[in-house]
Structure 1
Amino acid sequence: MFQKWTPRGAAPIALAVGLYAIPAMAQAQQAAAPIVLEEIIVTAERRSTNLQDTPIAITALTAEDLREKGVVDLKGVADATPNFQMTTSGNGSGGSNFAQLFIRGVGQPDFIITKDPAVGIYIDGVYLARAPGAVLELLDIERVEVLRGPQGTLFGKNTSGGALNISTKAPSDEFGGVAELRVGNYGRMDVGGSVNVPLVEDKLALRVSALSRDQDGYYKRLLPSADGTKRNGNDVNVRSGRATLAWTPTDTLQVTLSGDVTRERQAATDYQAVGIFNTAAAAPNIELYNRVVLAPQGLTYDNRWVAPKPWTTYSTSTSYANSDVWGVSGVVDWDPGVIGVKSITAYRDLDVRSKADADGTPADIVASAGISVQQHQFSQEFQFSGDAFDDRLNWLVGLWYFEEKAQDTQSSRQLVGLVEALRAAPNRSIAPPGVAASTCPATGTGPASCLGGANNANNLRYDQMRLGNRWLDGSSYAAFAHAGYKVTDAFSLTAGARISKEKKDFRYYEVRPLQNNLVSFNNVTAGDTWDVFTPKLGAEYKFDSNMMAYVSWSKGFKAGGVNGRPTRADLFNTFDPEKLTAYEAGFKGDFFDRRLRLNLAAYFSEYNDIQITRNTTDSTGAFIRLETNGGDGEIKGLEAEATALLAEGLTLQAGLGYTDFKFTKLLPQQATAGTILLSLKNELPFVPKFTGNLGLTYEVPVSADGAAVRLRGDWRHSSSYFIDIDNTAAVAQDAYDVFDGRITFVPAAGGWELFLAMSNIGNKAVIANGVASPANGNQMVTYKPPRMTYGGIRVTF
C-alpha cells in the first residue's frame, strides 16, 4: 500500500537521477492512481501558507520526517537542514542542554546570559530567550520550520541568522493517541506517548503527552572520578510533559491553554584533551605549575593526558548537567470575518545547573564548582490581520512586549594550588616562567620580581579563583507590520517593518577567596538602550500554479550586551548589537505532476558589528576574556532542496548548502600587550563552506494483504570548519560524512509498527565543541555521539 511522504532536500546527483527517471516512470504509471507530493502548510509569515508559495528559504520537517530520521531533539534538526549547525556545551561548560545555533554562518558560540543568540527559537509562537535549557525535546511535534536568513520583521530580535518555528500538535475532536518504546545500546530506554481526549463535542478538547528518555554515557572515563565512581559523561536522563486544552465556544473564537515541563538529571558533557603544551615559551603559567605544584608530587602536566581515542577522557571531576524548565501560555484567536485578532501570552522559567571537568585531565588546571543559570520571562504579543481589495492585499500588524530577569552564577578556578604553593615557599625563592632558577635562590635574596613567600604580591598574578554572580534585567518593545499585495495574478509585492526598543541592565559581583575574599567587582553595573529598525521588501512572480520566484531585501539584529566574564575591571564593557542586511533570490517549483519539488535560494549578506568571544592572554601569559564587536564582514551562499517521488513507495530527498564568509573590516580590538590580534583572514566558528544531506525511503510490499517493510537510508556531509574565532587548528573539525539507516515493518491492518535503526553507522568522530586556552596550555574537544543502535515499537489508537 502506497503512502505519501513529505521529506525535503536536494543534491546534484539526486536531482540528476530524479530528473532522468521521473518522466519515464510517470508514463509507465499513467493508469495508476496519482502519486503526488503533499502540500505543506507553514506559518513562517505568522499566518498559514503553502510552503511553495512562501517567499522565504524554509526547511519544514513534519512529524513523520522527524520520526523517520530518528530525531528526538533540536540537534537532529540541524542534520537535515542546509547551512544549519547546532551544538551544545560551549566554553567548557559541560551543559548538554545549552543550545548554540548557527544559520548561514550567523550564531552564538556561548551560553552566558550577557550575550544573546542569533537564531530565535519559537514554540507555538512563544519566544525562548536563553540558550540554557533550549535543547528542546521534540515531544508531540506537528512541524519544525527552519527559516534561513534574517526574520527581523515578523519575529523580531535575535533572528539575524534565522529562526526555528516549532508547532506542537493541537487538540482535536477525535479520541486517539500514540505510544512508543525504544531500546538501544548504552542502556537506552525511551518511553513516550500522547493522548487526545474530546471533552465537549466540537467545543472542548484536551491533549496530553509525556516522555521519558534514559541512556548511559558514551564517554568512557579512563580513571575513577573524584567521587570514586566511573560514571561516564554524556548520559541521558530526561522527563518531559505537555498538556494543551483547546476551547472553541463559537465558530470564530478559540482559546488555547498550554503548559510544558522538562526535567533533566544528567552527567555533563565530557571533554578530552587533544593537545597539551607546557614550555615557558608556549604556556608560561603551565611551566610554573608543573615546577611548583606537580613536580613535588612526582607528576607533570603533559601529553600523557591526551586521550588515546575519541570518546575517552582522563577527566576525574564529578560532573552533572541538570535542568528544570517549564512554561505556560495562552492563545486567543478571534476571527469575526473582517479583522482577525490574536493574542499570545506566555511565561517561562528555567533553572539550569552544570559542572564539568573543564581540562579533561586529572590535574586541576581548570576546576569549577559549577555553573547555574536562573531565568524567567514574560511575553505578550497582539496580532491584527485581514484581507482587502478582493483579497489582493493581505496584511498583519502587531505589538510585542518582552521582559526577563536572569541570574548566572559561576565559580571557577584555574591552576589550583599554585598560589598556595607559592605562599608556602621561602620569600623570593621561585623564578618566574622563563627566568633561570639561579636568579631566585632559596636564600630569598633574589630580585623583587621573584615569586614565593607568604606576603609576596607577585604571587597574586596567578590567582585565578573567582566566584562571580551576574544579573540581567531586560525588556523589549516592538511594533511591526507586514503586507503582501497582488499587483497582478502573477506578480506580488511584499513590504514589512519592525521598530524595536531593547533595554538591558547588567550587574556583576565577584569575590576573590584567595585574597581574603576581596570584592573585586562590587555590584558594578553596565547597561544600554538600543533602538533598531528592521524592514523587509520583496517581490514574487508566479510562473504558474506550480512555480514561483522571489527576491527580497531584509534586515535583522542580535541585541547588544556586556562582557560577563571580565578578568580585569577595564574589560567590563558593553558592546553594540550586531546587524545583518540580506539580499536574497529564490525559486520554488513542483514538476512532473507534483512528483518533483525543487527549492533554490541564493543570498548575500552584509554583517556588521560582529560580536566575538575570545579566550586569550596578555604579555604575562595571564588569561583574559574578550567579548566585543570584532568588525564587519560579508556572507554569500547558495541552498538547494528537493524531493522526488521516483516510483510508488520510492522517495528521494536531498539538500545542499554553501556558505562563504570573510571579514571586510576589523574594529579596534580591546586587548593588552602580548595579545594576538585577529586578522581579516580569520573565519567565524561553525561555518562549513559546504553541507549536504541525502535520504532515500523505499516501501516494499511483503504480503498480498498490504503489509510492508519501509527502508530508509541517510547520508550527510560537511566540509571542514573552525570551532573558535581564533581558528585553532587542533580543535577544528575536518570534512566528514555520516550515514544512518532504519528499517520499519508496517502491518496491513496498521495501528502499530516495529522499527530497527542505526545512526552514525561508520562510527565517525565529529567534534561537537572545543576549547583552546593558551593560558592553560590545553586544547580540548568533545565529540558527537558514536554509533548508536536502537529498535522499538510504535502503537497508534
Structure 2
Amino acid sequence: MLASAMTLLGVSLPAMVSAQVVPPEKAAGAGPANVGVEDIVVTAERRESRLQDVPISVTAISAAGLESRGIRNFASLDATVPNLQLNNGRPDGGGSAAAATIRGVGQNDFQFPNDPGVGTYIDGVYLARSLGGLLSVLDIDRIEVLRGPQGTLFGRNTIGGAINITSKAPTNEAEGVASLTYGSYNRVEAKLAANVPLIDGKLAARMSAGYIRADGIGEQIPTGLELGIENRKIVRLALRGTPSNDVTIDFSIDYTNQRQNGGALFFIPDFPSSAGLIENLFNPVLAPVQNAQLGLPAASRFDGRWASPSRYDNYGTAPMRDNLDAGGASLTLTWNVTDNVTFKTITAARALEARISNDLDLSPYSVIQTDDTQHQEQYSQEVQIYGTLLDGKLDFLLGGYYFKEIGRSRNFVPILPGTLDVFGFEISQRADLGLNVNNYAGFGQFSYKLTDRLKLTAGFRQNYESKRFSRKFTHIEGGDVFIPQQDLYKSWNAFTPKFGIDWKASEDILIYGSYAKGFKSGGWNPRPIGANTGTTPFGPEKIQTYELGAKTQWFDRRLTLNVAAFHSIYSDIQLQALTTDASGALISDTRNAGRSRLWGAEVELVARPVPEASIQISGGYLTNKYTELNFGTDVQLSDKLPDAPRWSFAAGGDYHVELLGFGTVTPRVDVAYRSKTYRDGLNSPAITQPGYWLTNVRLSIVPDAIKGVDFQLFATNLFDRHYISYGQNVKVQGYSVAGYGRPRELGVTARYRF
C-alpha cells in the first residue's frame, strides 16, 4: 500500500517540499472560502516570503492546520512531517526533553555539554537546551520544519535542520478565543487568548494562557504512583508598538511551569549483564541485603521476574519527578530604512530550572536511579539588514549574532548502593557540572537574478564558539572526590556556506538545486568513568548536503505538489569509542568516530478538489550507511542511524458539510506510518520498533444557533497501537528501558471566539 501510494504521488520525481494550509475562514467554521489551496507566508530565509517561492525543503503548518489536526504538542509533528522524528530521547531526560531528528541527523542526550542536532527557534530566538523543547501548542501562528543543514541563516546546531515557531502577533482588532477540552484520563485543557488594542494604530497587546492536566497512563505497582501524568501551565504576553509606518517594536515574555511524575517506562530483561556486575556482585551479595530491607522473599533477585506486566506499568519504587520552570523575554525592532532596505534586531534572554528524578532499574531494588537538578540561562543578540538592490535584481541579507549560555547541573546517580560497606569500593556518584558557552557569527546571503526567471544564491556563515566545561565527581556514600574539580576549555571555528540556483519555469513552478554545509558543536563526555576519561574534547560534527527540489501548483492552484531529493555526507559523528589513557589502559570515551552517507526524498501534496474538501498527503524515504568507523566503537558498519526510518508517510483529509437548519460539520481522518525504527545507535533489538500505523479522527461541529461557538470530537491513536517512542540500552546491567507512545484517547473540545 505504501509503495503504491508513493508511486502515485511521484516519489521518483527529483525532489519535494510543502505546506498543509487550511483557510482561516474554514477553520473558524464559516465554510469553504475559495476553490484553491491557500498561500502561506514563511520566514525560512529569516524574512517573510511566500512558501512556494522559497527554494528550501520546508513543511509549514498554519494555526488552522494545527487546530484541524488536533496537534496539542510538538511531539505530534512527526506524524505529519516526512523524515522528522520527535521524542523524549533518553528515558532519564523527563517528559519535556525534545530529541529531534531530521533526515537521520539529531541528538537524543539532554545533558550538557551535548547540544541538539536540530535547532528550535521561537520567534527568531534559538533554544539551546532540549529540556523544555516538547512545548505545548499555545497561540501559535505557524510552525515551519526546515530539512537539511541551515548553517547560513540559522547557524548554531542546525546540522539536521531547524524547527521555526512563530507566535501570533498582536493586532489592532479586539478579539479572542477560549477553549476547554475534556478527554480520556481526565484530561483537562483550558486555553485563552485575547487581543487588545491599547493605543489605536500604535500599540496592541496579546495575552494567552493555558492549563493542561491529565491523569497517569501507568503506575509503579509497588507504590501506586501514577506515571505519565501531564500537569503544565503556560502564560505569554506580547506587545506590538508601531510608533511610525516604518518602525515596528515587538516585545514578548513567556513562562511555563511543569509539575509531573516521571514517564511510564517499560522494563525489558536482557540478562546476563554485559559487565557481570549483576550476576557476580549484586545478586549474590547485595540482593539478599535489600530483600530483608524491602520485605521481599529471600530468593528474590534482580532478573527477568521484574519484566513490566504491561506497556505503561513497572515495578519501580524510587521517586519519580519531572519538574520544569522555563521562560524568557525577547525584544524585536524592525525598521524599514527605505522602501528597499530593512534593519532588524532581536534581543533575547531565556532561563530554565529543572529537576528530574527517575527509577531507571524499574524494580523494587536500588540498582540505578538518577536525580538531576539543572539550571540554564542564555542571552542572545542578533542584528540583520536585508532588502533589494540593483533595481530588484539582488536580494541580500547580512547579519551578526552573539550567544552566551551559562549552565550548571548537580546529578545524583546511586549505582549499586551498598558496595562500600560490603566490598570497600563505591560506584554511586554525584556529578557537579558547569557550562559556559560563547558563540559569535557573521553571516550573509545574496540572491542575484540572472534573468526574470533564473536566480543564483550564495550564502556564508563564519562561526566562532568557545566552551568551558567544569566537572567534579564525588562518591555519594563515602564522600570522597574521585574526579577532582576540572576546568576544560576548547574553541572551534566553522565556516558553513550555501550555494543554490533556482529557475521559475512558470508562475506556478519553481525548480531549485543547492549545496549546504552545517555543523553541531563539540564538547566533552558528561559521564566519564575516571579522572582521565573525557578530558580530551570531541570536535564538531559536520555535514554536506546536495539537494534538488521542485515546488509546483496545478489546476488554478487547487493542487500543490512539492518534491525534494537529497544526498548528505555526515562526518565526524560523535560516538562512544574505546581509547587508551596515558598508561595504556582502555577507557570508554566520546570521539568523532564515524562517517555516514544518507540519501532520501520527500513528497508533499495539498489539494482542494472541490471547495468543501481538502487533502494532505506526504511521504519520505531515507537510507543511510556508515562508510567509516574508528576502532573501538560499539557501532558496526552494518548498523543504521537511530530515529531514521526508511519510510515515513502521512495522509489526511476533511470534508465540509452544510446541514440546513443546523450548521456545519467537518469530519477529518489522519493516518501516519513509520517503517522499522532503531531507537539507539547500537540498533538494539529490544527497543527497535517495527513498522506501525497511527490513526486520528476528528469531527468539528459549528452550530448556527450559537454564534462564535464550535465543538470538536476527537480520537487519537484510534486503534490503540503499541509502539516504542524512545528507549535506552542498559545491557551493562542486563536490561533495556522503553517508553511507549500514548494509548488511545477520546475527547471533546468546546471553543468560543469573541
Match of 1:554 among 508, 511, 516: 516
Match of 2:676 among 713, 720, 724: 720
CA RMSD of aligned residues (A): 2.1
Structure 1 CA distance for aligned equivalents of residues 361 and 658 of structure 2: 54
Matched, 1:471 2:473: no
Matched, 1:746 2:702: yes
Q: Secondary structure at the match of 1:646?
A: coil
Do the aligned residues in 1 keep the contact of 2:577 with 2:634 (CA within 8 Å)? no
Structure 1 CA distance for aligned equivalents of residues 577 and 314 of structure 2: 25
Match of 1:677 among 625, 634, 638: 634
Q: CA deviation at 1:761?
A: 0.8
Query: Structure 2 regions of 5+ residues with no counterpart?
Result: 11-31, 292-297
Does the C-alpha gap of structure 1 residues 623 and 261 become closer, same or farther in structure 2, counting only changes over 3 Å? farther
Structure 2 CA distance for aligned equivalents of residues 569 and 131 of structure 1: 27
> What do residues 611-641 of structure 1 show as CA deviations (whole Å, max 9, x unaligned)?
12589999xxx99864222211111101000
Match of 1:142 in 2: 141
Match of 1:382 in 2: 383
Structure 1 CA distance for aligned equivalents of residues 564 and 637 of structure 2: 27
Matched, 1:581 2:581: no
Structure 1 CA distance for aligned equivalents of residues 33 and 514 of structure 2: 39
Q: CA deviation at 1:241?
A: 0.6
Q: CA deviation at 1:657?
A: 0.6
Does the C-alpha gap of structure 1 residues 214 and 654 become closer, same or farther in structure 2, counting only changes over 3 Å? same
Match of 2:244 among 234, 250, 258: 250
Amino acid at match of 1:600: V
Aligned ranges 1:303-702 → 2 under 5 Å? 303-337=304-338, 338-368=340-370, 370-420=371-421, 422-423=422-423, 459-460=424-425, 463-514=426-477, 516-572=478-534, 573-613=536-576, 626-669=589-632, 677-702=634-659
Amino acid at match of 1:484: S
Do the aligned residues in 2 keep the contact of 1:11 with 1:641 (CA within 8 Å)? no
Matched, 1:774 2:731: yes
Aligned ranges 1:264-303 → 2 under 5 Å? 264-278=258-272, 283-295=276-288, 297=291, 298=298, 299-303=300-304
Q: CA deviation at 1:231?
A: 2.3
Match of 2:230 in 1: 236
Q: CA deviation at 1:15?
A: 4.0
Q: CA deviation at 1:339?
A: 2.4
Q: CA deviation at 1:387?
A: 0.6
Structure 1 CA distance for aligned equivalents of residues 374 and 550 of structure 2: 43
Structure 2 CA distance for aligned equivalents of residues 383 and 533 of structure 1: 19
Amino acid at match of 2:487: T
Match of 2:84 in 1: 84
Do the aligned residues in 1 keep the contact of 2:357 with 2:369 (CA within 8 Å)? no
Structure 1 CA distance for aligned equivalents of residues 330 and 515 of structure 2: 33
Structure 2 CA distance for aligned equivalents of residues 48 and 257 of structure 1: 19
> What do residues 89-133 of structure 1 show as CA deviations (whole Å, max 9, x unaligned)?
x33315111111100000001001111111000011011101112
Does the C-alpha gap of structure 1 residues 237 and 614 become closer, same or farther in structure 2, counting only changes over 3 Å? farther
Match of 2:204 in 1: 205
* Percent of residue pairs identical: 35
Does the C-alpha gap of structure 1 residues 40 and 83 become closer, same or farther in structure 2, counting only changes over 3 Å? same
Q: Secondary structure at the match of 1:290?
A: helix
Amino acid at match of 1:487: L
Do the aligned residues in 1 keep the contact of 2:577 with 2:631 (CA within 8 Å)? no
Does the C-alpha gap of structure 1 residues 687 and 51 become closer, same or farther in structure 2, counting only changes over 3 Å? same
Match of 2:294 in 1: none
Q: CA deviation at 1:668?
A: 4.0
Q: CA deviation at 1:644?
A: 1.3
Q: Secondary structure at the match of 1:527?
A: strand
> What do residues 476-496 of structure 1 show as CA deviations (whole Å, max 9, x unaligned)?
000001111111111111110
Q: Point out the structure with max Rg over C-alpha.
A: 1
Structure 2 CA distance for aligned equivalents of residues 331 and 34 of structure 1: 35
Do the aligned residues in 2 keep the contact of 1:722 with 1:732 (CA within 8 Å)? yes
Q: CA deviation at 1:216?
A: 0.6
Match of 2:19 in 1: none
> What do residues 174-220 of structure 1 show as CA deviations (whole Å, max 9, x unaligned)?
00000000001111111011000000111000000000000011023
Match of 1:794 in 2: 751
Matched, 1:39 2:33: no
> What do residues 511-565 of structure 1 show as CA deviations (whole Å, max 9, x unaligned)?
1134x32211221122211010000000001111101110000001001011111
Query: Structure 1 regions of 5+ residues with no counterpart?
Result: 1-9, 17-31, 225-229, 424-458, 670-675
Match of 2:25 in 1: none
Amino acid at match of 1:752: V
Amino acid at match of 1:315: G
Match of 1:156 in 2: 155
> What do residues 396-420 of structure 1 show as CA deviations (whole Å, max 9, x unaligned)?
1000000010012211022233443
The 10-residue stretch of structure 1 (783-792 or 172-181) with the greater mean CA deviation from structure 2: 783-792
Amino acid at match of 1:241: V
Do the aligned residues in 1 keep the contact of 2:270 with 2:731 (CA within 8 Å)? no
Structure 2 CA distance for aligned equivalents of residues 135 and 163 of structure 1: 14
What is the TM-score of this pair, normalised by structure 2? 0.92
> What do residues 641-664 of structure 1 show as CA deviations (whole Å, max 9, x unaligned)?
001112231111111011111111
Do the aligned residues in 1 keep the contact of 2:659 with 2:665 (CA within 8 Å)? yes
Q: CA deviation at 1:336?
A: 2.5
Q: CA deviation at 1:85?
A: 0.3
Structure 1 CA distance for aligned equivalents of residues 383 and 132 of structure 2: 26
Match of 1:172 in 2: 171
> What do residues 669-692 of structure 1 show as CA deviations (whole Å, max 9, x unaligned)?
4xxxxxx73321122111111111
Structure 2 CA distance for aligned equivalents of residues 625 and 186 of structure 1: 44
Q: CA deviation at 1:746?
A: 1.3
Do the aligned residues in 2 keep the contact of 1:109 with 1:685 (CA within 8 Å)? no
Do the aligned residues in 2 keep the contact of 1:367 with 1:416 (CA within 8 Å)? no
The 10-residue stretch of structure 1 (601-610 or 521-530) with the greater mean CA deviation from structure 2: 521-530
Matched, 1:757 2:714: yes
Q: CA deviation at 1:569?
A: 2.1
Do the aligned residues in 2 keep the contact of 1:656 with 1:693 (CA within 8 Å)? yes
